[in-house]
Amino acid sequence: MKTLGNIIWVIFGGFMIALEYFIAGFLLMLTIIGIPFGLQAFKLGILALWPFGSSVKEIENSSGCLSLIMNIIWIIIGGFWIALTHLFWGVLFCITIIGIPFGKQHFKLIHLALVPFGKKIE
């Protein structure tokens, strides 16, 4: 069932969301300062490409204070707006019964879009 959900997701917008994250990641990787943020954009792109059956987990021994500082910078620069976009699409999809699974995937992406540092995708 998750494979069918992922295929439908990719056809109806998941590919475009992932493509936006990958393009943003490549643009961020052009500067040395943007490399950590580009890696996080790639992480979001991978989850946006194939969300069904994936989960976001906390990394046990992440770099602590550095992750906190990077997450704060991420939220200020664009994470808040990315999360609002996923919230909008999640609510819009949840209006219909057929769209509820897709809305739930957008809600899963909200958490990672806000604080991607110190998280991993399984």
What pTM value is reported for the model? Answer: 0.82
Provide the pLDDT for residue 62. Answer: 64
Angle value at C-alpha 88, between 103 and 27, nearest 5 degrees: 100
Cβ 28 vs Cβ 70: under 8 Å: no
Along the chain (122 residues), what's the average pLDDT of each consecutive run of 10 residues? 86 86 91 90 89 82 78 88 90 91 89 86 84
